[in-house]
Structure formats: structure tokens, C-alpha cells
A and B are shown apart, each in its own frame.
Chain A
Amino acid sequence: MATTTYLSSPNITINSVDLTDQAHAATLTVKYDALESTAFGGSSRVYTAGLGDHELTVDLYMSYAATETYATLAALVGTATTVKVKPASGANSATNPEFTLTGTYLEALPVMNASLGELSSITLTFKGGTYTVATS
């Protein structure tokens, strides 16, 4: 049983603001550039880690009400901030680690995404930043 089903527990904060109730998808990808270190005599390509290039993609329902989605994000586009995600809303632990990107950059903000008869939703991508994991 190597599956995790998310129903309502995942927790997400953007610039300290808890937007869990507006989020419906989140993917944090931890990635390091692969630097080839294959040398003469090697029979297979080998790589070593380069710079970290992490990324958080999050889907949020759009709301223009006070202290909601738009108000939280409007002043963040084009700047760096801190985002945190964790599997459940409880305390940090080894089984509920909190993943943080510090100094991650919000390049673009879709200020409107309207389709007739559908809830407005936007997708944000936070690029880069320092990746840390808190288990306590």
C-alpha cells in the first residue's frame, strides 16, 4: 500500500498566509541540476548534483474578497517569498514533514481566469528558493 490519498488535510501557506481553504492541488518538486561527471574509462554516464532548482505548483480557487487569494498574491508577483506545504495540518513530525521554500520567486499571477459556469481557479508556480524540511 504505497499510496497517499489527500482528502482535506494538506496545509499550504504562502507568505505566512494560510490558503489551505482555497487550494485544491499542490506539487512540490525538489530538483538538482544533473552535472555530468563521466570520465575517460567509464562505461556509463554518471552525474553529480549541481544547483538546486526546486519548484512549487499550486492550484487555488480565485477570490477577490478581502484577505483571500488575490489580496494575498497581488503584491507578491515579481518578488520572492516563503511558501510552506505539509501533508496534514497537525504538528510537524517525521510522518508529517513540513516542506519549505525560502526565497522562492513568483514569476506570474493570472489575475483572472474566467469560464462560464465554472469556479475560477488559477495555477501558480513558485520557482527556486532554498529547500528545507522540518520534522519537529
Chain B
Amino acid sequence: MAYRIISPRIGALGAIYEPSEGINIDALLAAGFIEEIATSSPKSARTKTTTEAPDAEQTEE
């Protein structure tokens, strides 16, 4: 979980908040000092795959 600072009493506005040991995160969230920011795992690069149709036998008439 990541947090963003939304009160200058914590630090620079907009900066990522990294809690040190013993910090009560719930209290900071409840009082509006920080907010949660969504963290999404980076998507892996999509590789283009081509599926080839099985070779059709060509017959000459």
C-alpha cells in the first residue's frame, strides 16, 4: 500500500509518504494527513504472437 501526503504537517504536499516504524497509519488517514494511492502492478509487455495455420497441402490438378 502506498500513501500520498495531503497535509504540510507531514511533509511536502503530494510526496509519497513512507511511514517509519511505529507510525499509526489509520490515525493519519482518519485525520486527513495522508491518502491512499492505488498501486497497480506494472503490466508485462505484450508480445505479439502469430499463429500460423497448418500448411495446407497444395495439390496441382
Report which A residues bind B (CB closer than 8 A).
Answer: 15-19, 66-67, 71-72, 74-76, 79-82, 102-104, 129
Contact = CB atoms under 8 A, between A and B. Distances in A.
B58 interface: no
Contacts, number: 60
Interface in B6-53: 7, 9-10, 17, 19-24, 26-28, 30-33
A76 B20 contact: no
Interface of B: 7, 9-10, 17, 19-24, 26-28, 30-33
B22 A82 contact: yes
B30 A75 contact: yes
Contacts of A81: 22-24, 27
Contacts of B30: 74-75
Contacts of B19: 16
